[in-house]
Amino acid sequence: MEETCVNLDAAKMDELIIGRKHEDLKNFIDLIENRQYKSSKCRAINYYIIGNGYAVLADGLQTHWDERLGLQVNFYKKSQYEQGFSELSDDLRSRVYTNLANALHSQGRLFEAVKEYDRAIATFNNPLAYFSKGSALLEVSSSLYDQSHAVYFQKEAYPILKYIFECKEELFDAGHLKSIENATPHLEFVNHFDQHFDEICIEFPHISQLKGTPGKSDKERLYKQWCLKNTLFINDLNEITYELVAAQDVMGLPSVRFSANPLVGVTESLWMLGGFSEIKHQYAHARFTYYEAIASPYGQREISHYANNDLFLVDTLDYCIYRRDIEQIKVSFRLLYSCFDKLAVLLFKYLDPGSAARVYFSNVWYGEKNIVKEYFLKSDNPYLLALYWLSREINDNEAEGHDHWMDSNAAKLADIRNKLEHGGLRIVMDDLYKISNTFDKERADEKHAEILDRIEVNNKILKGGVSKEKQKTIREKIKSDRNFIDEKKQSKWLPAHHHR
């Protein structure tokens, strides 16, 4: 019954989209947003249908800074978040990825869009995803400060677009074929590369032939490879290659003294360059802290670090995990989050050097009455637009409330950050988490409570001072009791843990 209903809704949405009946489309979206499906698969399809409706309405918006542009992204992501998304056909999942990528592209989030296009292509051989990926790569190339990097993005786009134009009749239906044939700039780009391909390749050899620094030790080499494969270097080339040439955090600011704001003098310019360096350094430190946590033998083997050997803690029977690698992950999360705070200050100081106002990443974009500042509206910088939309998914000002943010997971991130900064975040075992919910009312079981009391008594005896011989005996008893408790803590690594 539910699948029949969602299929009828899909057909109705297609009809309204083809007819461009915007008022009817708005009313229909309001209707299906209130659908209550028990099936996660049907919810995933329903969110996709709603996203398509909002995508059409977004075409009529006057600016890419209009908050309604984010609605399509929100619903495409909600579709992916559903467990039932994996039950959809490859074709349909590929369309969700492609449409999300198109929406991200319209928000200036080019690198994120390329990743979604890659997911679409890997899921199903979707020619529209191929063409859109090539288009996004070209747009990236036109926006880069380093012209040599720009050429490598063009070299990445060239074979994709060449394939599209050479096989367009076989790949596209009549409606899409017309759009491809109207993409004159893309065809001109392919023709230019066809004519000058050899000389371009001589001046810009294959990216694998470019020199990079592998690292001086095995540990450094492993760390660099991990960063490359997870696209974590502050280097646009890392978006298209895992070669060592991309294993450098090279992105920086050009001279900002007279770029756009004549009020920025020498002192302010140096301060901004220093501020950007601080952000880069903090990001790099957070990146390594996270890597150290997951790559350390303590994290991989789930054992306590020697620094905790003589740390006496009360076992509260909520199966909370205290380990050094977990604390490192918490520190990394806090550092990464605070990079956005610093970025907001840097941006604000550039736009208004004389102001001392307090800003957040979420409010730096707005002037009076929460209207986006004129400077941003007039800017053609896609990365400023991308940062704005990213700010709608990073909640750093609780006074705004979670309704300000587009991504449905933003509240979860904000809650985690708030607990880390102010209230404390406890990681507990998933299988035994239910015990902690009722622990304040009754102890989990009498035997466990008895062992807990005995451990506490023995710890007090140790702290009170006893002979070395008695210390050894007492420590063995504590160890035996803890081993009994640890037998109940059999679960997998962090993905199986919950936070409170």
Of 253, 240, 245, 305, whose CA–CA distance to 279 is shortest?
253
The structure tokens listed for 485 are: 């408790």
Q: Can you give the chain as a three-state secondary structure string?
A: CHHHHHHHHHHHHHHHHHHCCHHHHHHHHHHHHCCCCCCHHHHHHHHHHHHHHHHHHHCCCCCCCCHHHHHHHHHHHHHHHCHHHHHCCHHHHHHHHHHHHHHHHHCCCHHHHHHHHHHHHHHCCCHHHHHHHHHHHHHHHHHCCCHHHHHHHHHHHHHHHHHHHHCHHHHCCHHHHHHHHCCHHHHHHHHHHHHHHHHHHHHCCCHHHCCCCCCCCHHHHHHHHHHHHCCCCCCHHHHCCCCHHHCCCCCCCCCCCCCCCCCCCHHHHHHHHHHHHHHHHHHHHHHHHHHHHHHCHHHHHCCCCHHHCCCCCCCCCCCECCCHHHHHHHHHHHHHHHHHHHHHHHHHHHHCCCCCCCCCCCCCCECHHHCECHHHHHCCCHHHHHHHHHHCCCCCCHHHCHHHCCCCCHHHHHHHHHHHHHHCCCEEECCCHHHHHHCCCCCCCHHHHHHHHHHHHHHHHHHHCCCHHHHHHHHHHHHHHHHHHHCCCCCCCHHHEEEC
Q: Map out the domains of the chain as residue ranges.
A: 1-209, 213-251, 258-422, 432-491
CA distances to 328, 459, 462 from 310, in Å: 19, 11, 11
Beta carbons within 10 angstroms of residue 243's beta carbon: 17
The structure tokens listed for 294 are: 């997951």
* Cα separation, 131 vs 150, whole angstroms: 19
The gap from C-alpha 376 to its chain's centroid, in whole angstroms, comes to 23
CA distances to 255, 266, 351 from 261, in Å: 12, 12, 7
Residue with token string 């495409």 = 76
Of 78, 59, 77, 79, whose CA–CA distance to 69 is shortest?
59
The structure tokens listed for 489 are: 């803590």
Beta carbons within 10 angstroms of residue 297's beta carbon: 10
CB-CB contact of 113 with 125 (8 Å): no
- Quick one: fold of 1-209? 1.25.40
* Cα separation, 271 vs 279, whole angstroms: 12
Whether this model's pTM surpasses 0.85: no
- CA angle, residues 452, 458, 460, in degrees to nearest 5: 105
CA distances to 341, 387, 477 from 336, in Å: 10, 15, 43
Residue type, 436: S
Residue 427, strand partner residues: 499
Of 52, 142, 149, 147, whose CA–CA distance to 103 is shortest?
52
Residue with token string 């095995």 = 218
Beta carbons within 10 angstroms of residue 288's beta carbon: 16
Residue with token string 């997951």 = 294
CB-CB contact of 445 with 361 (8 Å): no
Per-residue pLDDT in tens (0 to 9) along the chain, 500 residues: 899 999 999 999 999 999 888 999 999 999 999 999 999 999 999 999 999 999 999 998 989 999 899 999 999 999 999 999 999 999 999 999 999 999 999 999 999 999 999 999 999 989 999 999 999 999 999 999 899 999 999 999 999 999 999 999 999 998 899 999 999 999 999 999 999 999 999 999 999 999 999 999 999 999 999 999 999 999 999 999 999 999 999 998 776 544 555 555 566 677 788 889 999 999 999 999 999 999 988 777 767 778 777 888 877 777 788 888 889 999 999 999 999 989 988 888 877 766 656 788 888 898 888 889 998 999 889 999 999 999 888 765 555 554 555 676 777 777 888 888 887 888 877 655 444 444 433 445 566 777 877 888 887 777 666 777 777 888 888 888 877 766 654 433 333 444 55
Distance between first and last Cα of the chain: 38
CB-CB contact of 235 with 250 (8 Å): yes
The structure tokens listed for 374 are: 């004129």
Q: What is the pLDDT of residue 272?
A: 80
Of 126, 135, 141, whose CA–CA distance to 184 is shortest?
135
